[in-house]
Copies of this chain bind each other. A is one copy, B any other.
Amino acid sequence: MVPEEVAQRPSRRAVAVPELVERARSGDARSVARLISLVEDASPLLREVMAALAPHSGNARIVGITGSPGVGKSTSTSALIKELRSTGKRVGVLAVDPSSPFSGGALLGDRVRMSDHALDPEVYIRSMASRGHLGGLSWTTPQALRVLDAAGCDVILVETVGVGQSEVEIAGLADTTLVLLAPGMGDGIQALKAGILEIGDLFVVNKADRDGANTTRREIRSVVSARESDWKAPIVLTVATTGEGVDEVVTEMERHREYLAGGELERRRLARVGREIEALALGSLRSRMADVTGDARLGSLAADVLAGRSDPFAAADTLVEHL
């Protein structure tokens, strides 16, 4: 059942891609939202959009924020926005929630803002569902980051719900990965050691006014100090609700940026883009395969295998030849 007002909503006026990109670059929030919607909807215009954005990307710093539910991710993100805004930065936020039943912008409204920053024209907040990619960040995330980047964001915060693989993937997407924890996680920290603690460039123990903050810091330190890396990941205590310690987080983010500038940033970004190109190439091959399998060829190959006239490897070779 489609509500009447939705069914009758007039289709949006068609806007040419170059115009949309130009408007987004000049800071028009509606155009930014529209471009991200094109990404989310896997619009046929997507290739044109990405080609138009290409010359204008690479300026934003991408900071991943991950942590288990309950550590105060949204409050911390909001406090970080406030702190970054106080230094004049244009901030983008991409909230990626693998468990969200919403398919992104369409249902949540074109722009979902965190209430504190709802009226700030220098803050773009966007919620995206990570559909289409089992348990992790969707392939659309890097494209959405490109839109925010081209729109002139100085810093983009990518917030993920820390479940399963997504926190590992966030480390692949971000220049700097901020891992958020809270005191009193007890044995949980043991379990996390293998995964979440490995990926942090910067650790934040939020809710530091609670008992056990120093214990948590010590536990993190014991893991982090075992790393072989030039970068010693700092551990900052915060109380995001009051803003305490958040300035220090921004300072450490900045310090990590300076560290990365010594060549590591280039390496991380090259690796990241390489993986993205591979994933897109594989996706394109997959869809060519779907075209082939839509026709009778796969059925006839399968029938040959079933009848013992062929085997699956030989049939797969034939399929690949026909792509």
Contact = CB atoms under 8 A, between A and B. Distances in A.
Nearest to A276: B312
A143 B312 CA distance: 9
A277 B323 CA distance: 14
A314 B51 contact: yes
A58 B306 contact: yes
B293 A274 contact: yes
Contact of A305 (B56, B277, B315, B317): B277
A284 interface: yes
A270 B57 CA distance: 47
A320 interface: yes
B302 A274 contact: yes
A19 interface: no
Nearest to A288: B320
A312 B56 contact: no
Nearest to A308: B55
Contacts of A314: 47, 50-51
Contacts of A54: 305, 308-311
Interface string A238-254: 00000000000000000
B274 A281 contact: no
A158 B183 CA distance: 45
Q: Which 3 A-B pairs have the closest CB atoms?
A: A280-B316, A50-B311, A281-B316
Interface of A: 46-47, 50-51, 53-58, 142-143, 266, 269-271, 273-274, 276-278, 280-286, 289, 293, 298-299, 301-303, 305-317, 319-320, 323
